[in-house]
Structure 1
């Protein structure tokens, strides 16, 4: 039995490929692992607020020195971190917006990457504290960015791998559906390839 944290970041409630593929994976995973517990966090339905000066100040104030207002300020971030730490598997549905991720997903990342909480510094440099977990990234994008000239414009997958890896999430499997704006045949090929991978990974 595993606890799965499912994060949806598409602003679209319908017609979202990243939502569709993540849902198919979870459905097949549940069929193979009926004891799994899935925690849903939809960043379009309940957006995570962007960082403010007050939040940053609270983050960097030692726990025992925080004011009541600062303690309240970090409650959401603490809850998001607890969800992350409590999960065995993280499933992220991630559409590409303007070569990168949605601002709501970036806000979530800003709340869970916290010094002393999910990573630490030492003389040897930074070290992630969120280890021993599996991540599945369901990436959707209109163009093809995994190869060719557009590869240098991919600030979606590259950023996620870097940010997640920084806190110790290095076991990352990416299921890409790309070329979705390049005609029906490209869409069919992308979905077919993604679903084939989903069938393999969901049963693992």
Structure 2
């Protein structure tokens, strides 16, 4: 059974409060119509235990990778955090399709998304190092990013300041995943009178993209 991982990084959990969630739900509805056998797994990052790359994790990774230590030789805290890191990575790897729903805040994605992604970069699990450089291991997986922006960042003077979508696409590509064109709804704060039209356009695009993702092998 195929599995779709639906990842949200916004403290607003309901579609009534979150424009991104509204677009995401439109995507899911269209996808499940095309591929009804798909298992949908929701991950709301604000409700999860996500280890940050702190001193414990830095030392745990170093001890296991090049300091010659075994798992049993780690401190209890290091064991707990490295175990949680691998649990998150394993849950991520277990899917076939991925939908990320995030807002653009202060030029980037919410910090919780970066913390989550930091747990996925594990040598010989999600990528490996070759003579020619790193190579992603999460091939044959498709991902799409749904992002809402209050201002205009696709063109004009703010285009060079958008680092949320840009980061996520690069990170997923590094891991070997096929990243589809992002679904962006922008300008709703700057042009509130146009917000309904912007949202309808984004939902239509979400439906089209969902159908394409579900139909492509």
TM-score (norm 2): 0.86
Any idea what SS the aligned residue of 1:22 has?
helix
- Report the equivalent of 1:113: 121
The 8 Å contact of residues 161 and 170 in structure 1, kept in 2 or not, is answered as no
- Report the equivalent of 1:25: 27
Structure 1 CA distance, aligned partners of 2:83 and 2:22? 31
Question: Does residue 58 of structure 2 align to residue 56 of structure 1?
Answer: yes
RMSD over aligned Cα, in angstroms?
Answer: 1.8
1:13-54 superposed Cα distances (whole Å, 9 cap, x missing partner): 241111221122112212222111011110122252322111
Structure 2 CA distance, aligned partners of 1:47 and 1:188? 35
1:128-167 equivalences under 5 Å are 128-167=136-175
Structure 1 unaligned segments of length 5 or more: list them. none
1:60-139 equivalences under 5 Å are 60-62=62-64, 65-67=70-72, 69=76, 70-139=78-147
Structure 1 CA distance, aligned partners of 2:180 and 2:61? 27
Dislocated runs of 4+, deviation >6 Å: none
Any idea what SS the aligned residue of 1:58 has?
helix
Structure 2 CA distance, aligned partners of 1:174 and 1:2? 22
Aligned counterpart in structure 1 of residue 190 of structure 2, from 161, 182, 185:
182
Structure 1 CA distance, aligned partners of 2:155 and 2:102? 19
- Report the equivalent of 2:11: 11
The 8 Å contact of residues 51 and 85 in structure 2, kept in 1 or not, is answered as no
Structure 2 CA distance, aligned partners of 1:47 and 1:136? 24
1:128-165 superposed Cα distances (whole Å, 9 cap, x missing partner): 11111110110011011111111011011111111111
Q: Number of residue pairs matched?
A: 204
1:100: how far off? 0.1
Structure 1 CA distance, aligned partners of 2:177 and 2:33? 26
1:42-93 superposed Cα distances (whole Å, 9 cap, x missing partner): 0122252322111122233338712263433222211211122111100100
Structure 1 CA distance, aligned partners of 2:28 and 2:61? 33
Structure 2 CA distance, aligned partners of 1:186 and 1:125? 46
Question: Does residue 39 of structure 2 align to residue 42 of structure 1?
Answer: no
The 8 Å contact of residues 59 and 114 in structure 1, kept in 2 or not, is answered as no
1:184: how far off? 3.0
TM-score (norm 1): 0.92
